[in-house]
């Protein structure tokens, strides 16, 4: 993975740039000590790192606008950052850029149960949005596994999903409006506290734009009444591809569980050492959750069990209590952390048509043997959103490169079978150079022309998303 050469003039002007930013923000909101900026050198794609010029932590939309106006005038690139949990390197800085972190923008601004929305500052964490409304029987549906840490800002930028998005949709389906600041410091409002807005769907454009078009400072989110009840069932299989075929059959039958999650043996073994989730011994495990009234739950589970039985499962086990259900989800949500205890890993994020799951899972296991790198699969199977976790050793020369090559083959396969490069983690730097696998030069040109409109000088999060050769002329 390559990054462009940093602008030496900007680096040489660091003292002046930092002094100007300090004039705009309260004490302690500008960090330039290399020891303190260390934690901002990477996001969750920790294989790649770079120290930023400085970090700014504004606490209001007005402060964000002042920072962006100044950086625009000084021609200093800016990398927006939420909580830094991106698995695609979207929040990684360059040596000549300022990190603009929104962590201090964490307030709830308005809650309206009658019209079912909440307005929050964008640095608020995903889980604490649900936390703010749960005592009134509401929740915010998109639930990335990183929800304890990740911010709504990053969720909007990456159009994040989660286990329960099969039924409720991803961020874009639950986002009603944003306040955003452009690189020139202009504050714009898109959408509002109602469904859909007049004119072009600019909100839809901003959601998933990876910090390329503006810095989101506030968001209006749809909140939903909690279902009457929910129950997960665990279904174990002795073969990955068979589990994949079962998922495909459930979706084809028109049953809509709230979640269908897949874990294979390497993941199950890692989770078992990490938390006591009580999973059965199996090569592949599906966690399927349905919700509704008791009668609805029983009806849906009966259908799912009937379909699963056609695939000779090694075990079918319904949760019998709230505590058991909580444990089942604790295991699934801890899966990435559990794998991180074993070795370094790269988490891929391709999406495929659900019917292709058996083929793609089989091919991933062949590639694992060819490259000599272990792979664990844990993913949102109902959406066909694959997350192969390729294990490698960062201290072993050549291992990261081998891992990158294998990852590229898997993502190309996702495109070949009719899917796409990213489901929910975004392109960032991780998939930037694979964009030609999915788009031709004309497609990319049109996408870059959209960025030109919002950020004509390409100062916001440059060198991400678009292959470097395609964006070179624009980045100057």
Ligand X SMILES: Cc1cc2nc3c(=O)[nH]c(=O)nc-3n(C[C@H](O)[C@H](O)[C@H](O)COP(=O)(O)OP(=O)(O)OC[C@H]3O[C@@H](n4cnc5c(N)ncnc54)[C@H](O)[C@@H]3O)c2cc1C
- Where does this chain bind ligand X (CB under 6 A)? 43-44, 79-87, 90-91, 102, 122, 144-146, 150-151, 153-155, 157-158, 160-162, 210-211, 215-216, 336, 424-425, 461
CB of 288 to ligand X, least distance (A): 17
What whole-number distance in Å separates Cα of residue 71 and Cα of residue 459?
9
Residue nearest to ligand X (CB): 154
Secondary structure string (H, E, C) spanning the chain? CCCCCCCHHHHHCHHHHHHHHHHHCCCCCEECCCCHHHHHCCCCCCCCCCCCCEEECCCCHHHHHHHHHHHHHHCCCEEEECCCCCCCCCCCCCCCCEEEECCCCCCEEEEECCCCEEEEECCCEHHHHHHHHHHHCEECCCCCCCCCCCEHHHHHHHCCCCCCHHHHCCHHHCEEEEEEECCCCCEEEEECCCCCCCCCCHHHHHCCCCCCCCEEEEEEEECEECCCCEEEEEEEECCHHHHHHHHHHHHHCCCCCCEEEEEEHHHHHHHHHHCCCCCCCCCEEEEEEEECCHHHHHHHHHHHHHHHHCCCCCEEEECCCHHHHHHHHHHHHCHHHHHHCCCEEEECCCECCHHHHHHHHHHHHHHHHHHCCCEEEEEEHHHCECCEEEEECCCCCCHHHHHHHHHHHHHHHHHHCCCECCCCCCCCCCCHHHHHHHCCHHHHHHHHHHHHHHCCCCCECCCCCCCHHHHHHHHC
**Comparison of 160 and 300: residue with beta carbon closer to ligand X:** 160
**Of 12 and 148, which has the nearer Cβ to ligand X?**
148
Closer to ligand X at the Cβ: 44 or 70?
Answer: 44
C-beta of 261: minimal distance to ligand X in Å?
A: 10
Compute the least distance from the CB of residue 254 to ligand X, in Å.
Answer: 25
Shortest approach of ligand X to residue 330 CB, angstroms? 13
Nearer to ligand X, 85 or 240 (CB): 85
Residue 454 CB, nearest approach to ligand X (Å):
11
Q: Are 211 and 79 in contact (CB under 8 A)?
A: yes
- Residue closer to ligand X by CB (options 82, 358) is 82
**Shortest Cβ distance from residue 302 to ligand X (Å)?**
29
Pairing of strands 259-264, 284-291: antiparallel
Choice between 300 and 422, CB closer to ligand X: 422
Q: Which of residues 211 and 313 has its CB atom nearest to ligand X in the complex?
A: 211
Query: How many whole angstroms from its chain centre is CA 231?
Result: 25
Closer to ligand X by Cβ: residue 255 or 389:
389
> Smaller CB distance to ligand X: residue 79 or 304?
79
> For ligand X, which is the closer residue by CB, 52 or 161?
161
The number of CA neighbours under 13 Å toward the Cβ of 254 is: 0
Q: How many residues does the chain have?
A: 476
Nearest distance in Å: CB 60, ligand X: 13
Task: Tell me the closest approach of the beta carbon of residue 315 to ligand X, in angstroms.
Answer: 25
């Amino acid at each position: 993975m390559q990054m462009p050469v940093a602008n030496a003039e900007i680096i040489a002007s660091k003292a002046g740039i930092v002094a100007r930013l300090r004039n705009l923000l309260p004490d302690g909101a500008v960090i330039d000590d290399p020891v303190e900026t260390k934690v901002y050198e990477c996001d969750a794609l920790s294989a790649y790192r770079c120290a930023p010029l400085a970090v700014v932590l504004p606490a209001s939309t007005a402060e964000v606008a002042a920072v962006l106006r100044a950086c625009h005038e000084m021609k200093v690139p800016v990398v927006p950052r939420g909580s830094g949990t991106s698995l695609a390197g979207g929040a990684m800085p360059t040596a000549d850029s300022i990190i603009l972190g929104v962590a201090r923008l964490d307030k709830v601004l308005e809650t309206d149960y009658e019209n079912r929305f909440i307005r929050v500052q964008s640095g608020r964490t995903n889980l604490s949005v649900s936390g703010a409304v749960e005592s009134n029987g509401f929740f915010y549906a998109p639930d990335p596994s990183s929800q304890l840490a990740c911010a709504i800002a990053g969720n909007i930028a990456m159009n994040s999903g989660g286990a329960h998005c099969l039924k409720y949709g991803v961020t874009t389906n639950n986002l009603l409006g944003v306040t955003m600041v452009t690189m020139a410091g202009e504050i714009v409002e898109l959408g509002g506290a109602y469904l859909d807005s007049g004119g072009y769907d600019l909100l839809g454009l901003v959601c998933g734009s990876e910090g390329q078009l503006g810095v989101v400072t506030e968001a209006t989110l749809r909140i939903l009444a909690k279902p009457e009840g929910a129950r997960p069932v665990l279904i174990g299989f002795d073969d990955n591809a068979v589990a994949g075929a079962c998922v495909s059959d459930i979706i084809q039958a028109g049953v809509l569980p709230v979640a269908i999650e897949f874990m294979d043996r390497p993941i199950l073994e890692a989770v078992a050492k990490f938390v006591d989730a009580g999973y059965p011994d199996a090569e592949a495990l599906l966690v399927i959750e349905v919700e509704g009234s008791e009668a609805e739950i029983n009806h849906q589970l009966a259908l799912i069990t009937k379909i699963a039985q056609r695939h000779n499962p090694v075990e079918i086990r319904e949760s019998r209590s709230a505590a058991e259900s909580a444990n089942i989800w604790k295991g699934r949500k801890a899966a990435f952390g559990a794998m991180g205890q074993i070795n370094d890993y790269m988490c891929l994020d391709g999406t495929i048509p659900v019917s292709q799951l058996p083929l793609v899972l089989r091919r991933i296991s062949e590639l694992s043997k060819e490259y000599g790198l272990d792979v664990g699969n844990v993913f949102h199977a109902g959406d066909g959103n694959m997350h192969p976790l390729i294990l490698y050793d960062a201290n072993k020369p050549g291992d990261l490169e081998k891992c990158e090559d294998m990852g590229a083959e898997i993502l190309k396969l996702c495109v070949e079978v009719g899917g796409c490069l990213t489901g929910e983690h975004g392109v960032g730097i991780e998939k930037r150079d694979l964009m030609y696998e999915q788009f031709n030069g004309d497609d990319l040109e049109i996408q870059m022309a959209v960025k030109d409109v919002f950020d004509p000088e390409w100062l916001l999060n440059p060198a991400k998303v678009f292959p470097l050769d395609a964006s070179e002329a624009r980045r100057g």
